Amino acid sequence: MAQDLVIYAVVHQPRRLNLPAQPIPKGAAPKDIERCLFDERLNEEYFHKVATYCYYPATEMFLELADRGLKFSIGFSFSVLRQAESWDRKLFDFFRQLAAHPNVELVNVEPYHSFLPLLDLPMFAKRMSWSRDNLEKVLGKRPEVTDTTEMLMSDAIYHALDGLGFSGAFLDGRPWVMEWRESTHLYHKGKDMMLLARHYQLSDDVGYRFSNKGWWGYPLLADTYAHWLREAWGDFVVLAWDYETFGEHHSRDTGIFEFMRCLPDELSKRQIVTLTPSEAIAKYREQSFYLPLPAFPCTWAGEGGMDFFLGNPAQQAVFQLMLQAYNKALLTKNPKLIDLALWLIQSDNLHVIQWFDRSGSDAEVSAYFTPKEWWELGPSGIIWEMQQVYKNFIQTLDEYL
Amino acid sequence: MRQRKITPENTEFVILSFEGPDRYSLAGGLGVRVDNLSETLAEMGFRTHLFFIGDPKFKGEQVRYRGNLVLHRWCQWISKYYPNGVYDGEEAKLHDFTESLPYSVKDRVAKPAVAKGKLVVILGEEWHTAEAMCRLSDLLHSDGLRDKVVMFWNANNIFSFHRINWGRLNYATTITTVSRYMKHIMWRMGLNPLVIPNGIPKELLRKVDDGAADEVRQALDTDLILCKVARWDPDKRWNGAVEAVARLKERGLKTVLLARGGVEPHGQEVLHNARSLGLTVREARMKPGSSDGYLTALQEAASADIIDVRFHIPLDFLQVLYRAADGVLANSGHEPFGIVGLEAMAAGGIAFTGCTGEDYAIPFVNSFMLETADPMEIVSYMMYLQDYPEEAARIRKAARRTARYFTWEAAVQNLISKLENQARIQGTLGGQRRLAEPQFAVSKLPPELLATTLKRHY
């Protein structure tokens, strides 16, 4: 029965594309191209909304929990930090305060939440290294454990990260990856870097199902949940969520904050100890197990495979455009254009069109993340205009070649 | 209790337009219209904001008329890549205009004005602003400001009507247009726009120097002078004008057509047609550095039947030409309003208008209205005027009288009356919300029009 608990939450906001696509003037400078590609007004609007409903109350809650002795870990994408720094300095400082807390471990993430781990591993490694340095500079702690983008992990990604000297990384403990193994142990793939496997069922009980009135477990109370955690077989449970789970995915009136505030006492009653990821790695390193990682990347999104991002023709088309945009930008050797291409390969751009040609809960989640302002274009219009953004960018690179 | 009126103290104006007063922003009549409209409002004391696609080299914001007129040059970050004027890079500008401008108008103009207890009047011009007006209406609604704002959207032409979401625009704004002809076109689309005519600057009513007009006549040394200023466009019926010159020549009347076209390729077709009819064509160009060489330039080309004027004609010299001509051919087949005919009338010229949007024209009273595309119609009227010069003199006088009722001041008064009515319907101008009653401003009609109207109905 699991005695220890590792909690991880990742804070991220996408840099939404400018739809309908703004035509890019011929010969435009990178800063004007950037203005055409991204809808910063929309991004700011969403940022303030999420800050109000989630970031402020959730950070307040997590700080309170940390003060009460709960240990957990947190990751910030550069995408969200940039927005906080630009549009809400007070919140940015609040995030820093949270990251600085002794009971909080800072986790590295792919800075732009991009598909680099799928597209270009050497560049991915470079960017992860940059992110680590940047987080240390901005938030004052150097991450030792890392996440990627949407918790992408594969054999190749593992080796890229191991080469950077991280002590551990997260992956989603899906059955097709774990096979007969439990996610409640520490793993490795033959190198120094350890693997923390997210318990996807217990995580999703909170992350997805908490406010679902049709779920048999509804309403989920802290004592029940602590009991389930205690009942899990193994050494420790890894829970990982979007930070936006608290107040955004599940609004305040669902009771999500009260649930979290009650959780530490219920954990204590059952002698469950919270550990930071590094503490868990230190504690269980000697009894870690070999995990053969798949060549196909796994993710915490959808059913755990890349079909969540590449499962429909619209996503496949945009992904091809991402490849073209990124590689053509590399040909220019212009750092500003390469940077724009990195933003364009942000995973959210495929996340928000997963609903195309699909139905079911994953499609509902995807549609929820699609900006409501885009729906005026209609489903086909969204896909068309999104592709147009990439085509415009690809075309405009001619001026730099 | 008397109803409140729109005054500079209680109202602020916002005009949205692609074209505007900068040379970069002037492409056709729209730029002149918004320039005159905004200046007239500012001169009347109204604080007026004009948002337009401004010259990228100028300041983004510029204040004129003792602070009453604020020019907001939009899309400058795009325009700097498109040096060839307002419609160069049109789609890129349209996208940015639509996406960004509504927020700015709401936050920077409407909100502060409403906070001061003012009524805000927003006027959108042409199809480019239609979507922005709808979005602005939505934004104002979501901020609880929509009922403090009156929004009119104006169609100056039928350009890109197919790109407008009419149901949405008609719901979000009060649709207006510039003539009854346009109203009838739009009726067929299920719309019922208010008609607010265009205007001319009152400076055009100043008496034109007859001496200068005589000099033009002497310089051209011909029996008849015709003048036509229009884009080279089939709608403008240039070929009809050229053919009329040929027919008059056949009748032994030496006729010169002063032709000022644009840069459009149809011009080559028209001039080729002229030559094939046996007419001679010569270009009139200004010598570089010459400041008063307009007359000389025309004189040098005077031996031709068609003088292709290849220099910019300043407004005061244009007035002289209108005055000097025996006929100003504003004979378009489709004219939403027809400002050239009105300008010619203001100069005491004899306008030959088409019979579409020229509401100001009353045939045989203040102008000639061409009912067909047959050049013989022009020819026969010209012959008639040759035989009855006293009729020509009478029409010239009547034309100037009519033009006085179509200055920008008069147009703005008309606009304000309709805005007041709309504001009362919305309940934004004080008092309770009430149904509008039709307004018949009969007393404002010119006597010629009044007489005709009364004759028709009684």
Give the residue on B whose Cα is nearest the Cα of A37.
B96
pLDDT band at A300 (very low <50, low <70, confident <90, very high): very high
Interface probe with B: pick from A16, A22, A42, most Cβ of B within 10 Å: A22
* pLDDT above 90 (res B2): no
* pLDDT above 70 (res B445): no
Residue in B77, B91, B95 closest to A32 by CB = B77
Instruction: Identify all chain B residues contacting A16, using CB atoms and an 8 Å cutoff.
Output: none
Instruction: Identify all chain B residues contacting A37, using CB atoms and an 8 Å cutoff.
Output: none
Q: Which of A230, A23, A94 is nearest to B98 (CA)?
A: A23
Secondary element (H or E) of residue B72: strand B69-74
pLDDT band at B1 (very low <50, low <70, confident <90, very high): low
**Residues of B at the A interface, defined by Cβ within 8 angstroms:** 77-78, 81-82, 89, 91-92, 95-96, 99-100, 103
Interface probe with A: pick from B74, B76, B77, B106, most Cβ of A within 10 Å: B77
Whether residues B100 and A22 touch (CB distance < 8 A) is answered with: no
Average pLDDT, chain A: 97
* pLDDT above 60 (res A310): yes
What domains can be seen in chain A, in order of their start residue? 4-290 (3.20.110.20), 307-400 (no CATH)
pLDDT of residue B289: 60
Task: Tell me the mean pLDDT in the region A131-147.
Answer: 97
Whether residues B89 and A23 touch (CB distance < 8 A) is answered with: yes
Most confident of the ranges A68-72, A370-374, B453-457: A68-72
* pLDDT above 50 (res B454): no
Give the residue on B whose Cα is nearest the Cα of A31.
B77
* pLDDT above 80 (res B442): no
Give the residue on A whose Cα is nearest the Cα of B78.
A25
Task: Tell me the mean pLDDT in the region B410-433.
Answer: 83
User: How far apart are the CA of A39 and the nearest CA of chain B, in angstroms?
Assistant: 9
Give the residue on B whose Cα is nearest the Cα of A24.
B92
Give the residue on A whose Cα is nearest the Cα of B76.
A32
pLDDT of residue B29: 84
* pLDDT above 90 (res A290): yes
Residue in A23, A28, A35 closest to B91 by CB = A23
Q: What's the burial of B142, exposed, middle or buried (CB within 10 Å: 0-12/13-18/19+)?
A: exposed
Average pLDDT, chain B: 91
User: How far apart are the CA of B111 and the nearest CA of chain A, in angstroms?
Assistant: 18
Using one digit for the tens of pLDDT, what is the confidence trace for A41-53? Answer: 999 999 999 999 9
User: How far apart are the CA of A297 and the nearest CA of chain B, in angstroms?
Assistant: 38
Instruction: Identify all chain B residues contacting A24, using CB atoms and an 8 Å cutoff.
Output: 92
Using one digit for the tens of pLDDT, what is the confidence trace for B281-339? Answer: 999 998 766 556 889 999 999 999 999 999 989 889 999 999 999 999 999 999 999 99
Determine how many CB atoms are found less than 10 A away from the CB of residue B260: 18
pTM of the model: 0.85
What domains can be seen in chain B, in order of their start residue? 11-199 (3.40.50.2000), 203-405 (3.40.50.2000)
Whether residues B92 and A27 touch (CB distance < 8 A) is answered with: no
Q: Is residue B139 within 8 Å of B103, Cβ to Cβ?
A: yes
Using one digit for the tens of pLDDT, what is the confidence trace for A86-108? Answer: 999 999 999 999 999 999 999 99
pLDDT band at A362 (very low <50, low <70, confident <90, very high): confident
Whether residues A35 and B77 touch (CB distance < 8 A) is answered with: yes
Using one digit for the tens of pLDDT, what is the confidence trace for B145-167? Answer: 999 999 999 999 999 999 999 99
**Residues of A at the B interface, defined by Cβ within 8 angstroms:** 18, 20-28, 32, 35-36, 39, 41
Task: Tell me the mean pLDDT in the region A250-263.
Answer: 97
* pLDDT above 90 (res A251): yes
Task: Tell me the mean pLDDT in the region A312-325.
Answer: 97
Phi-psi region of A190 (alpha: psi -120 to 50; beta: other; left: phi over 0): left
Task: Tell me the mean pLDDT in the region B2-16.
Answer: 90
DSSP 8-state code for residue A250: B
Residue in A22, A28, A41 closest to B95 by CB = A22
Task: Tell me the mean pLDDT in the region A114-142.
Answer: 97
Chain Cα centroid distance, residue A150: 4
Give the residue on B whose Cα is nearest the Cα of A18.
B99
Using one digit for the tens of pLDDT, what is the confidence trace for B41-72? Answer: 999 999 999 999 999 999 999 999 989 999 99
Whether residues B81 and A32 touch (CB distance < 8 A) is answered with: yes
Residues 6+ apart with CB under 8 A from B3: B420, B424, B429, B430, B431
The b-or-e profile of A61-81 (16+ CB within 10 A means b, else e) is bbbebbeeebbbbbbbbbbbb
Q: What would the two tokens of residue B178 be?
A: 């510039």
Whether residues B77 and A26 touch (CB distance < 8 A) is answered with: no
Residues 6+ apart with CB under 8 A from B15: B34, B37, B38, B48, B49, B50, B51, B52, B122, B123, B125
